[in-house]
Chains A and B, each alone.
Chain A
Amino acid sequence: MIVGEQKPISEIKEIIAPYKKILILGCGTCVKTCFAGGEDEVAVLASALRLACKKDGKEIEIEEFTIERQCEDEFIQESAPAISRNDGVLSLACGAGVQALARRFAKSPVLPGVNTTFIGVLEKQGVFTEECSGCGNCRLDIFGGICPVTRCAKKLLNGPCGGSQNGKCEVNPETDCAWQMIIERLGILGQMDNLRIYVPPKNWQTSLSGGPRKLVREDHMI
């Protein structure tokens, strides 16, 4: 899932300062799971902003609404009446959701309330870790399902750097060494021979380094 973190209230106050009527629009998918932009977070943020503005003597009307997914037009459509009633939209979705809204509602300012941080997993309750960089050329098959592009600080593709200690990365001792985990996992899977496979330098053109990417599925196009 896409992991995000709500912006500090002080920054959000500045972002919404020019508007008198604002819609806080939540997204019920990824950002809900990471407690950044679901229905509950919309309610808390709306309440906190109302208190903050009232304290500062600023008049503002805040409406709350959450849709299932802000990155799909089909769901975005549900928010159209609420968006038309307000001067601006504070989106608590990821950057894709903010831009999908901006594309759909050309005349409404769409403002970000969340910092999109990474593609990750829920490691344990309340802890999210980055696991995928979206490099566009996945080789998790030979790495035992552990990505060195994302989880190795040096992005090494042909074995460990030799600097890790007790299974921890020398760059950040709080991080597990990705190569230690890869080797342990390959051992469990009986695939240690994978370590003999030479992985050539990565072609980063499939990553964001090649500019914004597009996926076209002709078979699903109408």
Chain B
Amino acid sequence: MNDDLKPKITLFHCINTVSEIGGFSLTGRDNFELHTVKLPCSSMVKDVFLLRAFEAGSDAVVVLVCPEGQCRYVEGNIRAKKRVAWVRNLLDEIGLDGRRLSLSNISAGDNGAASQIIQNVLKDLEDLGPNPAV
């Protein structure tokens, strides 16, 4: 990815897994935009929200959910996982590359893991380049 371009990432997260995104640091990486969407449960992440994040110019979309078996609403994270898989296929089909969308299970309050996930996405974006539909 061009160094002049600021990657834009939209992060959907369950409030039970990360309460405040400001709570984790991304040492050494400030050349990107992070938009966060807090959800009472990751099951509320609908297909269209993920797609509209890309329409709004995101280069990557990340969904953070609770570990499997630990969803407060029993299966919200499983539903989110299935939707994300479905939208990834859709992104592949329209040529945007499904790798731009990812889902990760992280334990409640593990800000270090959240930070690492964002770092990995930024690294992936170096290969993927900017959102071709912007």
CB contact under 8 A between A55 and B51, given known A8-B93, A40-B46, A48-B94? no
A62 to chain B, nearest CB (A): 11
Complex: A55 Cα to B51 Cα, angstroms: 14
A10, B93: Cβ atoms under 8 Å?
yes
A43 near B: Cβ within 8 Å? Answer: yes
Contact of A50 among B46, B47, B55, B132 (CB under 8 A): B55
Q: What does DSSP make chain A's interface, helix, strand, loop or mixed?
A: helix
B48, A51: Cβ atoms under 8 Å?
no
Complex: A9 Cα to B55 Cα, angstroms: 17
B25 to chain A, nearest CB (A): 32
Q: Please, how many residues of chain A have a CB less than 8 angstroms from a CB on the other chain?
A: 14
Complex: A198 Cα to B75 Cα, angstroms: 51
Complex: A40 Cα to B48 Cα, angstroms: 8
Closest partner residue, chain A, to B87 (CB atom): A44
Q: CB-CB < 8 A to A55: which residues of B?
A: 94-96, 132-133
Complex: A44 Cα to B46 Cα, angstroms: 9
Complex: A40 Cα to B96 Cα, angstroms: 21
A51, B93: Cβ atoms under 8 Å?
no
A47 near B: Cβ within 8 Å? Answer: yes
B54 near A: Cβ within 8 Å? Answer: yes
Complex: A43 Cα to B93 Cα, angstroms: 17
A54, B93: Cβ atoms under 8 Å?
no
- Please give the residue numbers on chain A whose beta carbons come within 8 Å of chain B beta carbons, in ascending order: 8-10, 40, 43-44, 47-48, 50-52, 54-56
